[in-house]
Amino acid sequence: MTNSEETRVLFTGKFLEVKKQGRWEYVHRNSASGAAVIVAITDERQIILVEQYRIPVGQRVIELPAGLVGDDAGGKGEANATAARRELLEETGFAARELTQVAHGPPSAGLASEIVTFFVARGLTREHDGGGDEHEQITVHLVPIAEADAWLTSQERERGVLVDPKVYAGLYFATRG
């Protein structure tokens, strides 16, 4: 398959489009320009993780704080870092003094056109309890980085939650300096 093949839209919803190019079908967000993923590290060397029920997998999932870029009304042209700061505060209640971009790429290149940008957030100040917006029920976890692998394993085994693999990428970035 080449990029010269025609792309057809098979379905358009409020937030997503299903497209087809050649034999390949994929999903495209029609309401955002990407996603920001935040590796938030406290001064006490804890990583901030969020947990919420995810309808597509039918289970609670432990994730890094994250959100769409430019999806709010009037958000067209929103910078990735602006979205990262907004989502970190909304989901976790923490504001970051320092935000550094560390990676940029597709999280699921075979399924979606979405590109995510990873940021490391430091110099955190708690401003409220977090929990997300009115459509989300987010639980915030502060986990010592040194104990994160064991903690995640116990959450999977004892509680049956899923762990988004991006969390492990986040732990890599958390230990890089």
Residue 100 CA: distances (Å) to CA of 71, 84, 96, 174: 22, 10, 10, 12
Task: Count Cβ atoms within 10 A of the Cβ of residue 146 and give its class: 0-12 exposed, 13-18 middle, 19 or more buried.
Answer: exposed
The active-site residue out of 127, 134, 156, 158 is 134
Q: How far, in Å, CA of 92 to CA of 87, rounded?
A: 8
Nearest to 74 by CA among 37, 118, 135, 31: 31
136 is catalytic: no
Residue given tokens 């989300």 in the structure block: 136
Angle at 159 between CA 158 and CA 162, to 5 degrees: 115
Buried/exposed code over 58-70 (b: 16+ C-beta within 10 A; e: otherwise): eebbbbbbbbbbb
Catalytic residues: 134
